[in-house]
Amino acid sequence: MPIEVERELLRKCRAGDWEAYEPIVRAYEGRLFGLAIGIVHNADDARDLVQDSFVRAFKSMELYDPARPFLAWILSVCRNLCIDFLRRRRFSYSLDGDDDEKQIQLPDPRARTDRATLDGEARSLIWEALADHTLENMGVEYP
């Protein structure tokens, strides 16, 4: 995406224009997915984290410095969400040791409850933007 186009879209996003965010999502979702899958090693979790990254970034647009590259900023948002995800997952244990069905997930008291606080409209808009980008369409093969 040309830098001039990106800057104009980001300016509109900072003004609260949700529709200007879709081309941004489409331009960078593959890069974020690649980062997330490399960290969490699970496609479903990676897709959720990419979605959460875009929602978080849009809601925090006032923190973005337009003088710096947007891709670097949103990648750091995604990376931090992935690390928080892994940190929360680390606080789980199994009652049996072997039986996954009896696994209990303990919340990390230091972790934020981002998913619980996300706006439903923002989630649905991001899901719509990501809907056409399945793993198969992106050429990702998995067992």
Residue ranges making up the domain that contains 36: 3-83+119-130
The domain that holds 125 is classified in CATH as 1.10.1740.10
Report the phi/psi class of residue 92: left, alpha or beta, with left for phi > 0 and alpha for psi in -120 to 50. Answer: beta
Residue 76 lies in a domain: yes
Q: Which of 124, 120, 117, 114 is nearest to 22 (CA)?
A: 124
Residue 18 lies in a domain: yes
CA dihedral 33, 39, 41, 44 (to 10 degrees): -40
pLDDT at 113 over 70: no
Token representation of residue 131 = 């809907």
Please count the residues of the chain.
143
- Local confidence band at 56 (pLDDT 50, 70, 90 cut-offs): very high
pLDDT at 51 over 60: yes
pTM reported for the whole predicted model: 0.62
pLDDT at 85 over 70: yes
| CA dist., res. 124 & res. 80, Å (int) | 22
Residue 106 lies in a domain: no
Q: What is the mean pLDDT of residues 107-122?
A: 51
Per the model's pLDDT, the better-predicted residue between 21 and 79 turns out to be: 79
Per the model's pLDDT, the better-predicted residue between 15 and 84 turns out to be: 84
- Integer distance in angstroms from the first to the last C-alpha of the chain? 33
- Looking at residue 4, its pLDDT comes to 87
Enumerate the H helices of the chain as residue ranges.
3-14, 21-40, 43-59, 70-90, 114-117, 120-130
Half-sphere exposure of 65 (CA within 13 A, CB side): 5
Phi, psi angles (nearest 5°) of residue 141: -105, 140
- Looking at residue 129, its pLDDT comes to 64
Give the mean pLDDT of the chain: 77
Residue 23 lies in a domain: yes
Residue 139 lies in a domain: no
Pair 29, 23: CB distance under 8 Å? no
Residue 77 lies in a domain: yes
- Looking at residue 126, its pLDDT comes to 66
pLDDT, one tens digit per residue, over 117-131 is 445 556 666 666 666
Split into its structural domains, the chain has a count of 1
The residues facing 94 across adjacent strands are 103
Per the model's pLDDT, the better-predicted residue between 11 and 101 turns out to be: 11
Percent of the chain with pLDDT over 90: 34
Residue 57 lies in a domain: yes
Pair 18, 55: CB distance under 8 Å? no
Residue 22 lies in a domain: yes
- Looking at residue 67, its pLDDT comes to 86
